[in-house]
Structure 1
Amino acid sequence: MSEGLALDRVRIRLGNTELLSLERSVRPGTVLTVMGPSGSGKSTLLSYIAGFLTQPFTAEGRVLLDGEDITDRAPEQRHVGLLFQDPMLFPHLSVGGNLLFGMPPGLSGRRARAADALARFGLEGFAGRDPATLSGGQASRVALLRLLLSEPRAALLDEPFSKLDRHLRADIRTFTFDRLREAQLPTVLVTHDPEDAEAAGGPVVELTF
C-alpha cells in the first residue's frame, strides 16, 4: 500500500441505513474533499478515521496510514490531527501553552520551536497571549499551528472555515491548504462550501442522503 491515507471499503451505517460507502486513497500533500448535506455522514466519516466513532453508528472497512492498518488503534495512537469549526483552544492556557500541549512529550527545544513557528505564522510574540484576545483569523492560525506541531501523519478538517467572516475566509483557507501541502499531509476535508473544495484543489466526493 502506498504512502498516504487509504480508506479501504469503508461503509458507515446508522442503524439499518447505510450512510456512505467509500474507497479512496489520499496522497501526501493532497486534500480529499467530501461534500454532502447534513446527515449524509461527512463528520461521521472523520470520526471513524480518527477512532472516535460511537453508537448508534457502526462501520466496517479499513483505515490505512502509510500502509499500516490503524483501524483498531486507539485515537491517540493514530497520529491524526483534527481541525473543527471552532479553533477549540484551551481557555485556561496561553497561546504558547496550547502549542506546547499539542507537541510530542520529550521533544527537545519545545518552547523555542513554538516561538519560531508563531513567528513564521505571523504571530511573533503571541506565546503569552490569552486565546480570548485573539481575532478569528489569529485563533484559526493558532489551531492549525497546534495541529502541525503535534507532528501528525494525516489531517482531518471538519468545516474549519464555516464560522469565519467572509472577508477572512479566503485568506485563512489559502493559508491552511498551503501549510498542509508544505507539510505533505494527506488530508480529508468535509464541507458544504464549493469554494472550500475549489481552494483545496484535490479530488471531490459528493455524498447523497
Structure 2
Amino acid sequence: MTDIVTDRAGLLLQDVVIRHGDRVLVALTQHVAPGEVLTVMGPSGAGKSTLLGFIGGFLDPVFDAEGRVIVDGDDITDAAPETRHAGLLFQDPLLFPHMSVAGNLMFALPADIRGHMARMALVDEALRGVELEGLGARDTETLSGGQKARVALARVLLSRPRMLLLDEPFSKLDQALRGQMRELVFAKARESRLPVLLVTHDPADAQAAGGTTITLEP
C-alpha cells in the first residue's frame, strides 16, 4: 500500500485498481488538491469513465475495484452515491425539459435552504455567476448549447459538491464555446476550491486545465 497522508484537503485516490476480468484498466495513487485538476486521457475503452464511476459510486458491477476514495480526510469508498457529494458534468447538459432554467437550479439546492425567497436569491446569484442573469424563467429548450452548458454548471455548483467529476463536458461544443466553457469551469473550481477530475480525449482540455495529466493505455 502506498504511504500517503490521508487527512489533507482535496481528493485522494489511494491504491486504486480497477479490473475487467483479468485485465487491469486503472492502477493509480493520486492526490488532487482543492482547486486543482487531474486530467485522465486515453482512448475509448481504456477505463477513463470507469474511474469516474468508481469515484462517484456508480461503477458498473462488471468491474472489480479496490483502493480508497478519500475527500478532505473522509473515506467515502463505501458510501452511497448520493452521500458522496460529487458534482457531475457530462457531454450532454441533462437539463430537465419540463422545468424552467430556475426550476432546474432550484432542484439542486440542498434541502436545508428553506423559503422560496432565499432559494430564489441563490438561483439568481448562480445565474449571474455564469453570465445568464435574468434567464431564470426561460424554457431550457430555447437555450443555445453554450447556455445549456452554463446552466448545467450552475446547477452542479448549487448542489454544494465536494469535488467535480467531468466526463468530456466540452466535447459537443463548437471550438469557440469550448474555450469559454473551459475557462469558466476551471475558474469556478478554483473559486470554490473544488478538486476536479477531468476525463477527455482532447489535449487542449488538458492544457487548459493545467495540473497533472495521466494517460491510460488501451
Q: How many residues align?
A: 209
Tell me the TM-score normalised to structure 1 length. Answer: 0.98
Residue 103 of structure 1: CA displacement? Answer: 1.0
Q: 4+ residue runs of structure 1 moved beyond 3 angstroms?
A: none
- CA distance, structure 2, for counterparts of residue 151 and residue 174 of structure 1: 20
Per-residue deviation, residues 53-76 of structure 1 (Å, max 9, x unmatched): 122111000000001100000001
Matched, 1:136 2:134: no
- Structure 2: tracts of 5 or more residues without a match: 1-6
- CA distance, structure 1, for counterparts of residue 40 and residue 194 of structure 2: 17
- CA distance, structure 1, for counterparts of residue 83 and residue 154 of structure 2: 20
| Alignment root-mean-square deviation, CA | 0.8
Q: Which amino acid aligns with 2:91?
A: Q
- CA distance, structure 1, for counterparts of residue 32 and residue 55 of structure 2: 13
Structure 1 residue aligned with 2:122: 113
- CA distance, structure 1, for counterparts of residue 19 and residue 109 of structure 2: 34
Residue 117 of structure 1: CA displacement? Answer: 1.6
Matched, 1:14 2:20: yes
- CA distance, structure 2, for counterparts of residue 85 and residue 54 of structure 1: 19
- CA distance, structure 1, for counterparts of residue 70 and residue 46 of structure 2: 23
Structure 1 residue aligned with 2:3: none
- CA distance, structure 1, for counterparts of residue 61 and residue 129 of structure 2: 42
Secondary structure of 1:24's match? strand
- CA distance, structure 2, for counterparts of residue 86 and residue 28 of structure 1: 25
- CA distance, structure 1, for counterparts of residue 11 and residue 182 of structure 2: 22
Structure 1 residue aligned with 2:83: 77
Q: Which amino acid aligns with 1:62?
A: R
Residue 158 of structure 1: CA displacement? Answer: 0.2
- CA distance, structure 1, for counterparts of residue 35 and residue 125 of structure 2: 23
Secondary structure of 1:49's match? helix
Structure 1 residue aligned with 2:199: 190
Structure 2 residue aligned with 1:170: 179
Tell me the TM-score normalised to structure 2 length. Answer: 0.94
Matched, 1:43 2:52: no
- CA distance, structure 1, for counterparts of residue 128 and residue 84 of structure 2: 29
Structure 2 residue aligned with 1:123: 132
Percent of residue pairs bearing the same amino acid type: 58
